[in-house]
Amino acid sequence: MTVSTSSTTGGEPRADLVTVTIDGVEVSVEPGTLVIRAAEQAGVQVPRFCDHPLLAPVGACRQCLVDVPDAGNGRGFPKPQASCTLPVAPGMVVNTQASSPVADKAQQGVMELLLVNHPLDCPVCDKGGECPLQNQAMSNGRGESRFAATNGTKRTFPKPINLSPQVLLDRERCIVCQRCTRFAAEIAGDPFIALVERGAQQQIGIAEDAPFYSYFSGNTIQICPVGALTSESYRFRSRPFDLVSTPSIAEHDSCGAAIRVDHRRGTVMRRLAGDDQDVNEEWITDKDRFAFTWAKQDDRIGYPMVREDGVLRPASWPEAFAVAARGLAAAKDAGGVGLLPGGRLTAEDAYAWSKLARTGLGTNDVDFRSRPLSAEEESFLAAHVVGSGVEGWKDGAVTYADLESARTVVLAGLEPEDEAGTIFLRLRKAHLAGPLRVLAIAPFETRGLTKVGGTLLPTAPGDEPAALSSLLGHADHGVDKDTIILVGERLGLVPGALSAAAELAAKSGARLVWVPRRAGDRGAVETGALPGLLPGGRPVADAAARVDAAAHWGVTSLPEAPGKDADAIVASAAAGGLSGLLVGGVDPDDTADPAAFRAALAAADFVVSLEVRATDVTAAADVVLPVAPPVEKAGSYVTWDGRVRPFEAVLHTPAALPDCRVLAGISEELEALGRGRRLGFRTVDEVRAELGQLGPWDGEAPAFTPVAPVTGGGEGLALATWKTLLDDGSLQDGDKHLAATARPAVVRLSPATAAQVGVADGASAVVTGDRGSLTLPVEVEASMVDGTAWVPTNSYGTAVLARLASPGSRVSVKGADQ
């Protein structure tokens, strides 16, 4: 009798798999698989505490003991084995608690011992209800405590101690599984917590002068299998069984980390890392975890407002739409309307902005870039970025997995630990696992670069083009087709730098990726919130592309005049050109010239602001339309690698409308006034459907227009600056404990430069630029390039663009007492 091969298995059985028998069930697993995970495939959950699939095995808690009557060589182990440290071997026979009384007793014994010194404070413990110790004590432990029955005395500690301003440790709850210390040492590379003392007194400790400062510290709380680690933000705030959990996507950077948002009665209580092997694995930054209170501050706008007699007064939505539409229509007739949506929108909302500009207000004057920008950058985005990696469009784009398999990663204008934490963690993982070489074109060796084992190519601001060009055929740092070049959005400010990166990629075969800072940046590129791009990468300058978009939108034509970029919109409005401004989530201090931006707001005849909270823009606006923060709306972020990350609303607040709904309301009133055509959608689902029908542009992408580098420095020091992960950003408002873990603001100088300007390490120095002065402590950094000063862009009190220097300008440094 022949056995027919079933076609449902979907492929040949793989010869390299290892077959073991677990509780009588044969399973075939990858070589090297640990028994504890092979058991999962056999449908058996072996209880465990110290084991974590993303951490190196340690075998400390001994909870996962199993009986191994045959190690695969015909001989068994005389003693139960920890299944979390034992790799499978062909022919191995394993009996877990499900079939072996020995394993079951061993596990019950360890569980009993774990509870010897564990307090019975589950009713007041934050972990109670979602606690692996509590759950597994119920499933694999004994009901009555023999320790308590024999009047045992538990070890106690004073409660709790701060490991950092945010993370607290209740030592008596700790079962010293070392998950937290291993995470800190292995995953984040911030080994600021370690075991101290021994025996039952063994505990997690910090050095007195080195608290647990890590951008990723919150992950230790999440992977703690007991309630030993808690956050100041969440401790004693709620019980897990009262929470409603919703999967979502973090709004703080372009990484698209999966998160879980837990809310109770309309209030978000906490956020946790989601589990997405393709993106963030199981880790998120502390910003993604703790920075969610910003949407619930007192200055949240609760209703539409219109300006009457110089004062904003509440208005109904219909009235506000009508007033906004009348004002915009008039402004359109007078001098035109510029649209500044900002970089934090969902792709759906950005699409609404893009479409309203073209079909409602008849202009290409729309630019999401609410920060310093360049024409070179826009050309680069149109030629090299739009569409890449978006599913079903341009394949072969770089993914997170590619970062792990690349031989070389070049970082230019990008500090991943500060600006894209998920990328940083992938680079560190790749560095620890294999031969990944990271080359950073940066002014100094950051802590993040050290942690990914990177090599610094010391580069002063402005010299990036030459540094990039030098990598071609470089004796030590040559790049090839197994190289990935990650360019941060900052690089666009250096004339010729993106051109040099594009040339390097073209000549070496390396792959080139643009990593923006904000969650909405990439989605705004894809949906055409740029003066030169329509949605789907359709070039405004291409008549066929305009016709294609117009046909989809049911309009006869689209504006063909080249649009103004954000800087030009601001300049025009300030000079009396553009008469109206429609502004989204833009902080004037983020823009290239904050003073000019404020002047434009003052000069414009009519300003409409779509905002979550009161800002300088809402204060100057004629109509204020409150929009929903991400937690209260559905949408999608497009990540740096072109991944579309949809999410649904966590909180359903009737009064909070997404931008697309608000803009639809305006467009309908505009249509009623005979200006343009209504957007034709009102909900996020309708936008998604329309985006799906529109699809990408299949014609020629516009050619990139290279820009020549500018040589020559000037007086004073070059200014290097970027935003640190935790700083004064308004999306971190409301969590003082998180804020306290931010790295202190300093001015970094090389030893030679510090000596030259006469300041010492730790001294106070005054940094002066064309827009003002900042007083900061000096940090002398040995790896820093000479003639350069580094200052965080927006740490507490260091709003560089508003208070120190214009983009690309130079600064001077002197001692505070000089």
Q: Kindly tell me which of 108 and 162 has the beta carbon lying closer to other proteins.
A: 108
Closest CA to 369 of 525, 253, 249, 255: 525
Q: Pick the binder of other proteins from 47, 57, 274, 702 (CB under 8 A).
A: 57
Q: Is 761 in the site for other proteins (CB under 8 A)?
A: no
How many whole angstroms separate alpha carbon 669 and alpha carbon 376?
37
Given the complex with other proteins, which of 190 and 232 has the nearer CB atom? 190
| Cβ proximity of 726 and 215 under 8 Å | yes
Q: Which of 42, 44, 46, 60 binds other proteins (CB under 8 A)?
A: 60
**Of 104-112, 334-342, 564-572, 664-672: span binding other proteins (CB under 8 A):** 104-112
Query: Which residues, in sequence order, are bridge partners of residue 249?
Result: 258
Least Å distance between CB 59 and other proteins?
6
**Would you count residue 198 as binding other proteins (CB under 8 A)?**
yes
**133 near other proteins, rule: CB under 8 A:** no
> What are the C-alpha distances in Å from 16 to residues 29, 30, 31?
9, 7, 7
* Residues 224-253 within binding reach of other proteins (CB under 8 A): none
Selected from 152, 314, 744, 797, the binder of other proteins by CB under 8 A is 152
Distance, in Å, from the CA atom of 765 to the CA atom of 759, rounded to the nearest integer, reads 7
117 binds other proteins (CB under 8 A): yes
Structure tokens at 719: 């200014």
From the list 46, 65, 549, 746, which residue makes contact with other proteins (rule: CB under 8 A)?
65
| Residue 153 in contact with other proteins, rule: CB under 8 A | yes
For residue 575, CA distances in Å to 429, 569, 806 come to 51, 10, 20
Q: Does 201 bind other proteins (CB under 8 A)?
A: yes
| Count of chain residues binding other proteins (CB under 8 A) | 39
Question: In the block, which residue shows the tokens 């009519």?
Answer: 606
Verify binding: residue 197, other proteins, rule CB under 8 A. Answer: yes
Q: From 627, 686, 677, 622, select the one nearest 656 (Cα to Cα).
A: 627
Say whether residue 191 binds other proteins (CB under 8 A): no
Residue closer to other proteins by CB (options 223, 323) is: 223
Among all chains, which residue has been given the structure tokens 């974590």?
Answer: 52
Q: Indicate whether 92 belongs to the interface with other proteins (CB under 8 A).
A: no
Using CB under 8 A, which of 37, 59, 162, 786 touches other proteins?
59
Find out whether 24 and 195 touch, Cβ atoms under 8 Å: no
Cα(664)–Cα(683) distance, rounded to whole angstroms? 9
DSSP lists the bridge partners of residue 196 as: 203
62 forms part of the interface with other proteins (CB under 8 A): yes
**Which residue lies nearer to other proteins by CB, 147 or 317?**
147
151 is an interface residue for other proteins by CB under 8 A: yes
How far apart (Å, rounded) are the C-alpha atoms in residues 464 and 738? 33
And the tokens for 809? 């300008």
Q: Which is nearer to other proteins, 195 or 602 (CB)?
A: 195
Do 640 and 633 meet the contact criterion of CB atoms below 8 Å apart? no
Count of H helices and E strands in the chain? 26, 34
Nearer Cβ to other proteins (224/717): 224
**Per rule CB under 8 A, is residue 58 in the interface with other proteins?**
yes
Residue whose CB is less far from other proteins, 77 or 796 = 77
By CB under 8 A, residue 6 contacts other proteins: no
Q: How many angstroms separate the CA atoms of 581 and 687, rounded?
A: 24
Regarding 599 and contact with other proteins (CB under 8 A), the answer is no
Kindly state the smallest distance separating residue 141's Cβ from other proteins, in Å. 12
Tell me which stretch binds other proteins (CB under 8 A): 75-83, 158-166, 435-443, 628-636: 75-83
The single residue among 63, 346, 508, 721 that binds other proteins, judged by CB under 8 A, is 63
- Residue 147 binding other proteins, by CB under 8 A: yes
Tell me the β-bridge partners of 67: 95
Cα torsion 668, 672, 674, 680: sign: positive
Q: Does 810 bind other proteins (CB under 8 A)?
A: no
CB 646 within 8 A of CB 662: no
Cα R_g (the chain), whole angstroms: 29
The least distance separating other proteins from the CB of residue 194, rounded to whole angstroms, comes to: 7
Phi, psi of 625 (to 5 degrees): -115, 110
Among residues 72, 91, 109, 777, the one that binds other proteins under rule CB under 8 A: 109
| 146 contributes a contact to other proteins by CB under 8 A | yes
Nearer to other proteins, 106 or 337 (CB): 106
> Does 156 sit near other proteins (CB under 8 A)?
no
Interface residue with other proteins, options 73, 135, 202, 297 (CB under 8 A): 202
Q: How far apart are CA 786 and CA 118, in angstroms?
A: 55
Q: Does 144 bind other proteins (CB under 8 A)?
A: no
**Torsion over CA: 40, 42, 44, 47 (sign):** negative
Q: What are 282's two structure tokens?
A: 């199981």
* Angle, alpha carbons 290-185-47 (nearest 5°): 80
731: left (phi over 0), alpha (psi -120 to 50) or beta: alpha
Nearer to other proteins by C-beta: 60 or 604? 60
Chain contacts with other proteins (rule: CB under 8 A)? 57-63, 65, 78-80, 85, 105-106, 108-110, 112-114, 116-117, 146-147, 150-153, 155, 175-176, 194-195, 197-202
